[in-house]
């Protein structure tokens, strides 16, 4: 039995993440992220990672490719992939999208990733909804 809704939601989510990565890369996300990560490391002594552009982009592209490679399993409704979809939808879709919107409001300027955040939020919400649907 094919699970069209979940499979399509999975692919839409992967494409929304790809769009978001492109948005962040185009608008120099690391220029804001890395200084903040360094400040958190100094103040709180937490192992927050700092990235080079190449390493950051390579890792995210690999993640998007992995999501797309797993899409046949989503269409077949593999139980474990529905479980994986929950934290992905919450953290990557909803939380990350809201963080970019909230950060833009807080800093009173458009932050990298803001333009694609509504798409990411919608795709994350669809992924969450479809992962819980029968």
DSSP string, 1-69: ---HHHHHHHHHHHHHHHHHHHHHHHTTHHHHHHHHHHHHHHHH--------HHHHHHHHHHHHHHHHH
Q: Mean pLDDT in the chain?
A: 96
At 125 the pLDDT is 98
At 15 the pLDDT is 98
At 68 the pLDDT is 98
At 134 the pLDDT is 73
At 2 the pLDDT is 81
**Which structural domain, as residue segments, surrounds residue 16?**
4-132
Each residue's pLDDT tens digit, 11-34: 999 999 999 999 999 999 999 999
Tell if the pTM clears 0.85, that is, is over it.
yes
Q: What confidence category does residue 133 fall into, taking pLDDT thresholds of 50, 70 and 90?
A: confident
Domain count, the chain: 1
């Amino acid at each position: 039995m094919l699970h069209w809704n979940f499979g399509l939601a999975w692919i839409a989510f992967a494409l929304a993440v790809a769009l978001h990565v492109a948005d962040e890369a185009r608008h120099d996300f690391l220029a804001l992220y890395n200084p903040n990560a360094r400040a958190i490391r100094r103040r709180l002594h937490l192992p927050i990672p700092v990235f080079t552009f190449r390493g950051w982009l390579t890792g995210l592209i690999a993640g998007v490719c992995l999501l797309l490679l797993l899409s046949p399993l989503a269409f077949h409704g593999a139980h474990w992939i529905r479980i994986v979809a929950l934290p992905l939808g919450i953290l990557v879709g909803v939380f990350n999208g809201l963080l970019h919107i909230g950060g833009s409001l807080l800093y009173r300027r458009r932050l990298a990733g803001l333009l694609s955040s509504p798409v990411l939020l919608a795709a994350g919400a669809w992924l969450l909804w479809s992962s819980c649907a029968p």
